[in-house]
Chain A
Amino acid sequence: MQKISRFDIINRLKDLLADGNVDRVLGWKKGEFRYDVTPHVFTSAQELEADFVWGDFCGANFSKYLIKETAKSDKKVAVLLKPCDTYSFNQLLTEHRFDREKVYAVGVACDGMADIFKIKKITGDGISDIKENGEDLDVYTIYDEKPVKIKKTDVLSERCLSCKSKKHAAYDELLGGDGDVLDSNRFDEVAKIEAMTEEERYAFWQGELSRCIRCNACRDVCPACTCEKCVFDNPNSGMENKSPANEFEEKLFHIIRAFHVAGRCTDCGECSRVCPQRIPLHLLNRKFIKDINAFYGEYQAGEVVGSRAPLVDFDKEDVEPKNAVGKEDK
C-alpha cells in the first residue's frame, strides 16, 4: 500500500490543471494488465479520472521524458516524481537537458515498487488482476478463482530492496511527505561478484550478458542515455552495433553503455526493471558507482544540480589505475 492514494494525487493534479499553471501532466496510465503501467501525458481531468493509476507497479521514471515534453510547448508540464526519480531529474538539469522553468515537479512519496517477475515466479504467468490489500497483494490468476495472497515485501523489486533514498532531491511540491536518505546495502551484490575469482566473474557475466537480445530497452529507458544520437546507432562512431552477434558485441555494448553513464548514473535502476531478459544491468552501473566512491570519494549523481561528474573532474593525487584495479581481489 502506498502512503498517498491515487485519489489524493488525482485531486491535486486536477487542481493544477484547473489553475492553468500547467496544461499537461506526465503520469502513469493503466495498461492492458494491472501490472503493465505506461507513461502518459494527461491533458484533462477526465483523462486522469479514466486512466491515471498509482500503485505498486508505477516504476517508470519520467525524468527523461521531460527533454522532449518541455520542448513541445511553452506551457509548464507537471511531472510526478518518486524520490529516486528526482536524482535523474537533477542530473538532467545539471546537463542542461531541459528547462526547469517549464516543469512543475510533484514529488510523490514511495513505499517501493513490486516486481512482477517475482510475483509470476510464485503464481505463474496467467495473472488476471492484482489488488492491493493492506500490506498484501491479492493476485488473481486464470488458474483459480481465489486470489493468491502475497506479502508485498516478498516481491519488492531489487532496486527498492536496496533503496538509497526516500528523500526527494528536487520538487516544487510534495504529496505524501518526504523521507530520509537511507543507509543502503546496494553495493553488497557488487562486492559479492568482486569477491569471486576472475574465472567465476567471467563465467557469471558470460551467463548474464549472453542472454542479451539487444532490444535496447535499457538504453532507451535510461535517464542518463539522452544523446541526440547514440554512438551505437552512429555509423561514424566506430562502435556502431545493432545486434549481439557474438560474445564480444554483448560485452562491448554493456561496457560502453555503463561507461557512458559512469559518474552520471543516479542508480535509478530502470535498466534492470525494463530488461526483458532479466539481466542485472544495475550491477554494472553500481560497480562504477562503487569504484567512484572508493577511488574519488562519495558521489551521488543528481544529488545537487550543477555538481561536477567524477569523470570530468580530477584530483592530482588520484589513485593510479594499477593500484585501483582489483584491490578487492583476494
Chain B
Amino acid sequence: MQQRIGVFVCHCGTNIAATVDVSAVAAALGREPGVVFARDYQYMCSQAGQDMIKDAIKEYKLTGIVVCSCSPRMHEATFRKTAAAAGINPYMVEIANIREQCSWIHKDKDEGTEKAIILGRAAIAKVCLNVPLTAGEIPVTKRALVIGGGIAGIQTALDIADAGFEVDIVEKKPTIGGKMAQLDKTFPTLDCAACILTPKMVDAGQNEKIHIYSYSEVVSVGGFVGNFTVQIKKKARYVDETKCTGCGLCTEKCPVKNVPNEFNLGMDTRHAVYIPFAQAVPKVATIDPNYCLMLKNGKCGLCSKLCGAGAINYKQEDEIIENKYGAIVAATGYNPISMDKFDEFAYSQSKDVITSLEFERLMNAAGPTGGVLLRPSDNEHPKTIVFVQCVGSRCSADAGKGKEYCSKICCMYTAKHAMLTREKYPDTDVYVFYIDVRTPGKNFDEFYRRAAEQYGVHYIKGMVGKVSPEGKKLKVRGSDLIADKQLHIDADLVVLAAAIEPDKTARPLATMLTASMDTNDFFTEAHPKLRPVESPTAGVFLSGCCQGPKDIPETVAQAGAAASKVIGLLCHDKLTANPCVAHSDEWMCNGCSSCENVCPYHAITYVEKEFRMPDRTTKIRRVASVNPAVCQGCGACTVACPSGAMDLFGFSGKQISAEVDAICR
C-alpha cells in the first residue's frame, strides 16, 4: 500500500524557529515522495498541536506521521499516543530531532534549515518502511528489591511495604542504618539522628512485608523490568540469625578486643564478635573472620560456649540466594572521599586532623568519647577548632584530585558542628574556612546565620593552604579573602569537610543492572528534571545519594518518590512489552547459532521445524526462534546473522539503510 505521510514541524516557541526556518522545512518536506500533508506549528506537543495532528490523520487518511521537533527521548511517546488516538498504529510515528541535534547547536539559520530538512527527509524515508507493531504483554513479579539499607533504602522499603508489596533490603554491613546511624545531630533542627532513624530501622525490621538481607551483597542481576532474577550472597557471619537474641554477651566476653571499630571510623576498638551499635537491626552478632581466634586457628570457642541460644556456628558458609523481583531500587549511598591526596591538611600526619564524619562520632553520645569533645591525640579539650570546607569538592578537573561537583551537605553540617561546639563549649574558638556558604534549603540560611551571628563562629572566606603539626598545636595557614590577608591560626583540632562520593559498590552494581552512570559514578536518571528517580533502565529506580549528593530531607523525599514509582510498576499485573524486537525469517535462517551466541537475554532458541519445500517435499530444518517477551531489541543478533534472516522491528536493515540514503542524498 502506498504510504500517506503527514509531516508536522514544530517551532518549539523560538527554540527551533529561531535558527531553523520552519515553514521552509515544512514546504521542502511536503514535496518529498509519499508526503501528502506538511505543516508547521508553534507547539506540536500542546493540546492544540496534537489535535492538529489528529485532525490531519483523519482528514488526509494518513498512514504514518513524522514530527520534526525535540528529541524522541522527550516526546516520542506523546506523539505515539496522539497517533493511536487518531486511529493509526502508534509505531507509524517517527521523530526528526531538529531541536537538540539541530536548532540548539547551529547558529546559522540557512545551515540549520538545511540540516533540519535532511533530518526530516531521513525520518520520512524511515517511516515509509515502518510497519504497524503491536506490543505484547509481560507479567510482573510483585516484589521489589532495595539495594542499600541506609535511610534512603529504609524509607523506600517502608513506603513500598506500606502499599502492600513484598520488599527485600540487601545491606552489605551487618546492620541497616547506613551513614545516618553514625551522625550525631541533624541540621537544621538539631534533632538527634538516632532518635529519628532508629524507630524507622525497627519498623523495617518488624514489617512483615520487608525482609532484610544484612551482611549480604548482590552478585548478579538478570532479566528485565517486571522479571529480574537476582542472586544475593549472604556472607557467613558465623552466627545463626534465627537463634541469636542479640543479648550481646559474646561481644563483651570475646578475648579479642583490639579490632578497629569501623562504626566509630577506627577511633576506638571492638571485639572480634560484635554488634555494630546498640540499636542495630537486625540485632544479631557477627564474627569478624579476620580476627576471630577460632576461625583463624581453631583455638578459643568462648562465644560458642557462652551463647545460651546456641547461635554460634563456626562452620557457616556464604550462601547464594536467588530471588525474583519486579523492580529494583539502587540506594547504595555515599562515602567521604579518602584524604590521602590532601596531604597539605596533614590528615595522615596528625591524629588531630579529622574528617567531619569522624567529628560526628566524637560529638556523639554513643561515640568513642561518650560525646565529650576530646582531641584524639591526647584526649584534651580542644580550645581552637578550624573547620575547612570544600576539601575535595569543587576542585578543578585538572587538579588531579578531588571532585568537580559540590558535595552539597558540607556547608550545613559544618555550620551545625560549629554551632554545637560553641553551644557545648563556649570557651572554644571556632573558625570556618569557606569558598561560598551555600544554604538553599528550608530554614538553612537562618541556621547558618545563627551559627555566624548568635554563636560567634568565625566564618572566613578563603581556603586553608597548609596545616602543619608543631608540638601540640596545628599551625593553620590560610587566606582571608575579604580582609585580604594571610591568617595563621594555632589550632588544637582541624576538621576537614571531605567531599562525598558514591559508594565503591555502585559501579559494579550499575554494570549488573545495566543502569548508566555519569563520570563521577553517580547513577544517571532517566531524565534530569522529569524522571529524577528512575534510571534509564526500565524497572531500576534510584534513591538517595547514589544519584547525587543529598541531605537527609531530600533523600527521604527521593526515597518516597522512588517507592511511589516502584508501587506504580508493581500494581500492574502485566506490562506492555517493547514491540521493537528481533524476528527471524525462517526460510532464510541457516540454523548456525550465531544469533543465539550474542543474545544477552537468551531470547533466542533453536527449534526443529518441518518445512514444505518448493519441490513439495518436506524438510526438517533447524531455525532460530525469538521470544518477543524476553528480547529487548538491541539488535546484536541482526549483525551476527550472516544471511540477514534476523531483523529488528522498528530498526530494520531496510529502514536504517533508507535513513542513510536520505541523509546522503
Using CB atoms and an 8 Å cutoff, list the residues of chain A in contact with chain B. 71, 95-97, 226-231, 234, 236-238, 260-261, 264, 308-309, 311-313
Contact = CB atoms under 8 A, between A and B. Distances in A.
B605 interface: no
5 contacts: A96-B593, A231-B643, A238-B653, A312-B598, A313-B597
B595 to A, nearest CB: 8
Which of A226, A236, A261, A264 has the most chain B CB within a 10 Å cutoff?
A236
B657 A238 contact: yes
B590 A309 contact: no
Given A71-B619, A227-B643, A229-B643, A95 B653 contact: no
A95 B593 contact: yes
A218 B28 CA distance: 46
B590 A228 contact: yes
B592 A95 contact: yes
Contacts of A230: 643
Nearest to B622: A96
Given A97-B592, A231-B643, A312-B597, 18 more contacts: A71-B619, A95-B590, A96-B592, A96-B622, A97-B591, A228-B643, A228-B645, A229-B587, A230-B643, A236-B644, A236-B653, A238-B653, A260-B642, A264-B642, A309-B594, A311-B640, A312-B594, A313-B597
Interface in B640-658: 640, 642-645, 653-654, 657
B642 A229 contact: no
A78 to B, nearest CB: 23
B644 A308 contact: no
Nearest to A236: B654
B654 A238 contact: yes
Given A228-B587, A229-B587, A229-B588, A234 B644 contact: yes
Interface string B586-628: 0111111110011000000010000000000001001000000
Contacts of A229: 587-588, 643, 645
Main secondary structure of the interface of A (DSSP, over half): loop
A236 B638 CA distance: 13
Contacts of B644: 231, 234, 236-237
A312 B213 CA distance: 37
Nearest to B598: A312
Which of A97, A230, A264, A312 has the most chain B CB within a 10 Å cutoff?
A312
Contacts of B590: 95, 97, 226-228
B589 A237 contact: no
A98 to B, nearest CB: 10
A277 to B, nearest CB: 24
Nearest to A306: B593
Nearest to B594: A312
A312 B597 CA distance: 6
B49 to A, nearest CB: 35
B591 A227 contact: no
A312 B653 contact: no
Contacts of B619: 71
Contacts of B606: 96
A309 B640 CA distance: 11
A20 B592 CA distance: 31
A312 B589 CA distance: 17
Nearest to A261: B642
A218 to B, nearest CB: 15
A97 B587 CA distance: 14
Contacts of A308: 597
B591 A96 contact: yes
A74 B590 CA distance: 20
Contacts of A228: 587-590, 643, 645
A309 B595 CA distance: 12
Contacts of B589: 228
Nearest to A308: B597
A235 to B, nearest CB: 10
A231 B657 CA distance: 14
Which of B587, B642, B643 has the most chain A CB within a 10 Å cutoff?
B642
Contacts of A236: 644, 653-654
Query: Which 5 pairs show the lowest CB-CB distances between chains A and B?
Result: A227-B643, A312-B597, A95-B592, A238-B657, A237-B644
Contacts of B640: 311-312
A71 B617 CA distance: 11
Nearest to A235: B654
A229 to B, nearest CB: 5
A71 B654 CA distance: 33
A236 B643 CA distance: 11
Nearest to A225: B642
B652 to A, nearest CB: 9
A280 to B, nearest CB: 23
A31 to B, nearest CB: 28
Interface in B565-599: 587-594, 597-598
B653 A237 contact: yes
Given A234-B644, A311-B640, A227 B593 contact: no
A238 B656 CA distance: 9
Contacts of B597: 308-309, 312-313
Contacts of B657: 238
A173 B317 CA distance: 52
A234 B592 contact: no
B278 to A, nearest CB: 44
Contacts of B645: 228-229
A234 B588 contact: yes
A261 B597 CA distance: 16
A307 to B, nearest CB: 11
A237 B643 CA distance: 9
Nearest to B587: A228
Contacts of A261: 642
A306 to B, nearest CB: 10
A226 B642 CA distance: 9
Nearest to B595: A312
A309 B594 CA distance: 8
Nearest to A256: B642
B340 to A, nearest CB: 27
A43 B326 CA distance: 62
Contacts of A238: 653-654, 657
Contacts of B622: 96
A264 B591 CA distance: 15
Nearest to A316: B511
A71 B615 CA distance: 14
A16 to B, nearest CB: 26
A227 B583 CA distance: 17
Contacts of A309: 594, 597
